[in-house]
Chains A and B, each alone.
Chain A
């Protein structure tokens, strides 16, 4: 899965290591004196930005051009406390304003059309690249073994009619960017814009990147990545830690804010479809889940226990649903779910919610009967489907059932 690298981390750690020119910067938590000194050095003005863990666009309103220490401190205070796309910044920081003769755009990514890395360049920096006309941007593939060299970059700059005197230093800066990309297991990197000064020096002024956590290079020695305020719930955090503790099976959850159906869903494809169907049919799923990968009993038990510990008490319906598994043993996964459910019901005292089940795959009957036995032991009403009923039909039924149960409870409250 890709993980974000923040601009502040890039400015303070990556850029220096890989010799990429960047504007000077200072942490917003620095003393008033230091901030004043920085502004004095930078010509009296700066840009204040949030240090936030997101690669998405939409920081508009959270970036401020300041022209005095007073303005800077006020902006740092305001921006540090903002909520941006549901997340809080770790802090705010100030960067030097770079005067430019030209703004350029660069991106390196793994290109699904070329099936190899690609490099995109435009001299229309500062704009969304999708809005730049085709003739004003270029994309070329990069040999994964040889990499991107200064000649290739210069050639592209020539074709885009870059002023001659800017080509050399900018090409060298972009080669450094490739070095960083390939040396740190990055998956995407976008600099927009590079600000190129009248003297021809390029500065990387806005940075977005993701690293591929599956790449061993992503663990760069000597780098200290700061901790960012996490918008994850304790449920998501616990599941994430549990998932990372083993490679056997997978356990992903994302809170959706629903209040009716607790979904234990299997398979990336099926779980997406089921959740979408639940939403469309008004089932209000509590979270998106994707379990599977043939987990051993202990892994599935732990996964189910976490789900039930956090969400069972509030659920109106428990849904255990997946497609026709190719490789996951249903008896093992369902026995683990059954045991986790019994464990949590004992913790809670008693619950009375309907349970809807649907599954197919190896050792199905044994798995369904184990779960059925547990539900009877717990005296929970249930309805169990096999693989001959499509998952989307089961999801629609579960959504309607949860609504009927909720309506009845509200009427009789």
Chain B
């Protein structure tokens, strides 16, 4: 073996080259690794030369071949000294051969992540690399992490290795990559961090066998304890024990052997090499070999271990554990008896800690030890859960080029969210169809359907003077076709004209988003007191802003350009909607809140009059009511409900704009929207240009 220490396998300053770096797994792991330690210098992938892999630490250059990659490195100091192979099984041999041919003077270690590499190829790789003086970890390894140097190759530790691997005294060597991560996270509770986490690989031939890894761990100054996770297959452990006996090793091993089930059921386990090497390869033979070497019983959680000389002598060889969750207590016991310093403070012992429990009726029939209540969710998960439990859904992203949830067409019928358009045409109103198209579900009742219809009608027009109507008329006057005239309508609505609904939704979600009510038409919610509190907050902020002579945040959708001079003002279109809700014996909590708010603002002196709640607010409140159940059930994003009121306004107004187009087309004269020069005012004095 070329490596003389564990840090020779991986240390700070090592430079990694990644094969097939643009692949699904390699690119994801490379991004995470760069974020964690930034040790990848380049990658290669056939047919992808010249590309770059974007990461948080900059772009990783991608070459077509390893030869090109090495040629691009101007000095040996910049060239990679480690290679990680993510190629498909059939390409692994070729990639290793390329590394041997073009990188033998630089490359010290090759980590082969690929699964399902033929055993013949593995044997050939071993032969080639031994000749070239290159160490190979794998095949089918997950990689290695160096806890003290905070560097890794491969996916050990997932996307946040720092959560699990804090620098410490334990080296974990495991056939299973997952168990490196899992065991390291468990033993933290015993006050021990990780020196190295090593996934040895789990194929039949493990090219850096346990005896070599253990020999390095024995020499490693940061490693005080060695934890092993062992599976059936091969004679690696027997060889390792022979080596330990020969060198009279005194670093304690804590060992778990899995896989006895394979013997009971005559089944192959994923990791078990089917080598005709006799009974030595079974889990029970490995347990027997370790028991014989340790010379004591497996760790017993009930036993009181007294630090006698005999026990110390035994523990310097090590101890078996019978189950995975005994690791922390066994590590703690060994560290105590052998006086090994803790790396961290000891936390509470591992225990059942449910994060979410809902046993309902079952809980009543269970004995107390099984009827568990919710425990404490640790950080950072508790913070993440708060984010996720906020209102609205958060969907995974995917390529949407040829897919849609909103529509489909199987060649027989087009569908809207699964419903055939032909059925919708026969049994649903236009407003119901719009609700389906925008929310994914039909309205729950005719009440919501009617409200949406009223909101659409209210948006149709506010007279020819509105800028959206003007936009249509200007376009028509210029001789444009109907579609351009409608674009004229749409081009002249925006965040101020028509887009206020989005602001209203934002405002209402800040107030109601965290409140635990499911029914937006619930008459029992005391919105009056909420409105008064909001009004008081507004008053304080307004006064403070005036004091500081700065702008203050206005409440969206209050006031109307026409209906604004009475002591109490109303927008008639909003009133129609409100009155309909009242007639039905219901409230819309959001609109009700607005009504109480304008009164409270007048009462506390923030406003001189009771301002009108305008139609934009009404449209926003109607749609927020329709969408509330979807937001609560996380079937809809908050972004969608912010957009919908604006879309509803635009839909109504573009139909109203169409009416303006038809009217202007029939009765208007060409260019009649032009403003005569005589009516235009000059704001800049004429100046002469010197030629």
Seen from chain A, the residues whose Cβ lies within 8 Å of a Cβ on chain B are: 1-2, 56, 85-86, 107, 109-113, 115-117, 129-130, 143-145, 182, 185, 187-188, 190, 210, 212, 214-217, 247, 250, 252, 254, 256, 266-270, 272-273, 275-277, 279, 288, 290, 292-294, 322-327, 331-332, 335, 354, 360-362, 364-366, 368-369, 372-373, 375-376, 381-394, 397, 400-401, 404-405, 408
Contact = CB atoms under 8 A, between A and B. Distances in A.
B151 to A, nearest CB: 16
A112 B273 contact: yes
A325 B352 contact: no
B265 A256 contact: yes
Given A113-B235, A366-B394, A389-B350, A185 B123 contact: no
A365 B118 contact: no
A56 B266 contact: yes
A107 B276 contact: yes
A252 B272 CA distance: 14
Contacts of A401: 366, 370
B411 to A, nearest CB: 22
B50 interface: no
B271 interface: yes
B231 A288 contact: no
B359 interface: yes
B206 A112 contact: yes
B463 interface: no
The dominant DSSP class at the A interface is: mixed
A394 B178 contact: no
A122 B265 CA distance: 31
Given A279-B261, A354-B362, A390-B186, A269 B120 contact: no
A362 B158 contact: yes
A368 B374 CA distance: 15
Interface in B155-204: 155-159, 164, 174-179, 181-182, 185-186, 202, 204
Contacts of A290: 270
A117 B202 CA distance: 18
B372 to A, nearest CB: 6
Contacts of B276: 107, 109, 188, 190
The 9 closest A-B pairs by CB, nearest first: A269-B176, A112-B234, A390-B325, A268-B270, A215-B118, A323-B182, A267-B178, A365-B384, A384-B356
B324 interface: yes
A108 to B, nearest CB: 9
A404 B381 contact: no
Contacts of B385: 365, 369
Interface string B358-369: 111111011101
A383 B356 contact: yes
A269 B258 contact: yes
B384 A216 contact: no
Chain B CB within 10 Å, residue with most, of A276, A322, A375: A276
A110 B204 contact: yes
Given A115-B205, A215-B118, A386 B269 contact: no
B29 to A, nearest CB: 7
B323 interface: yes
Contact of B229 (A185, A269, A362): A269
Given A267-B176, A268-B202, A269-B271, A397 B370 contact: yes
B352 A393 contact: yes
B59 interface: no
Contact of B158 (A111, A272, A361, A366): A361
Contacts of A85: 266
A182 B120 contact: yes
Contact of A112 (B156, B175, B277, B351): B277
Interface in B222-264: 229, 231, 233-236, 239, 258-262
Contact of B352 (A272, A292, A382, A397): A397
Nearest to A296: B24
B249 to A, nearest CB: 20
B204 A112 contact: yes
B181 A185 contact: no
Contacts of A389: 350-354
A116 B126 contact: yes
B359 to A, nearest CB: 5
Contacts of A388: 185, 350, 353, 378
Chain B CB within 10 Å, residue with most, of A187, A272, A275: A272
B271 A268 contact: yes
Chain B CB within 10 Å, residue with most, of A143, A270, A326, A385: A326
Contacts of B181: 323-326
